[in-house]
Amino acid sequence: MLELRNTRRALASTAAALAVAGGATIGTAGTASAATHPGSHTRTTATAVTLAAHPSGCAWRGVGADNLNITINGERVGYLYQEYDGCYHVRAHWVWDSYYRTHAHNHTTGAWVDVAIFDGFAGQEYHSGVSGSTGPAEVAVDGGNGIYYHGAGRWTASLTIHTTWSTSPADGWTYAATATHNYHTGSNDGSPWESGTTSHS
């Protein structure tokens, strides 16, 4: 899905570097960068946005199919939301499950997420950067210059989660996305979806 396959490779490289360094997780990226990828989509990685409400009544609220409960092997990992602030800004908002963050898990050695918000009309895609489960409890990334910038108007919140395991196979991937919300019509296109590439018992 758009850049999520490329994100897999980036996360794999990060996880490999962490394993060599002996680390378990990393924090949110602190710099912003943009690059054009195949398919005419512009991908931007930036520091995760602050989670405070905006001034002048611009408060974040869920839109569409806004609560995607992510589980791995039946265990709740967290929640993915698409949110709108009432002032023409959209964001993807990930919330780690508090129990998952604070307790050990059988054979799990680490978990990381890359949260994204992307537009289906203008081909814009914004990423939070990689953030680990022992980092911030919530990770969010906004959609840049507004929901209608360059003809935008249909947005999807998405997530790539990478887990590492002490048992074989050593890595697991989960992809998730909310339904695409059409801000021109107020409708949702499609349904929330989730898929994983590796299962552990």
Question: Which of 119, 76, 124 minimizes the C-alpha distance to 100?
Answer: 76
Q: What mean pLDDT is predicted for residues 72-77? A: 84
Share of the chain above pLDDT 90, in %: 41
Report the Cα–Cα distance between both ends of the chain, in Å, rounded: 27
Position 123 scores a pLDDT of: 86
Element (H, E) at 43: strand 41-45
Q: Is the pLDDT of residue 13 over 60?
A: no
Q: Please state, rounded to an integer, the average pLDDT across all residues of the chain.
A: 75
Bridging pattern class, strands 90-96 and 108-119: unpaired
Compute the distance between CA of residue 171 and CA of residue 164 in angstroms, rounded to an integer: 5
At 133-165, the pLDDT tens digits run 999 999 999 998 889 988 889 999 999 999 998
At 24-69, the pLDDT tens digits run 332 223 223 333 333 334 455 554 444 444 556 789 999 866 578 8
The radius of gyration computed from the CA coordinates of the chain, to the nearest angstrom, equals 16
- Residue position matching structure tokens 């409890």: 137
**For residue 112, what are the β-bridge partners?**
132, 162
Is the pTM higher than 0.75? The answer reads no
Q: Which of the pair, 2 or 69, is modelled with greater confidence?
A: 69
Long-range CB contacts for residues 52-60, cutoff 8 Å, separation at least 24: 53/85, 54/85, 54/87, 54/89, 56/87, 57/86, 57/87, 58/85, 58/86, 58/87, 58/89, 59/85, 59/86, 60/84, 60/85, 60/91, 60/93
15 pLDDT band, cuts 50/70/90, is: very low
Q: 27-42 b/e with 16+ CB inside 10 Å = b?
A: ebbeeeeeeeeeeebb
Compute the distance between CA of residue 124 and CA of residue 43 in angstroms, rounded to an integer: 6
94 pLDDT band, cuts 50/70/90, is: very high
H helical segments located in 85-182: 98-102
Position 121 scores a pLDDT of: 81
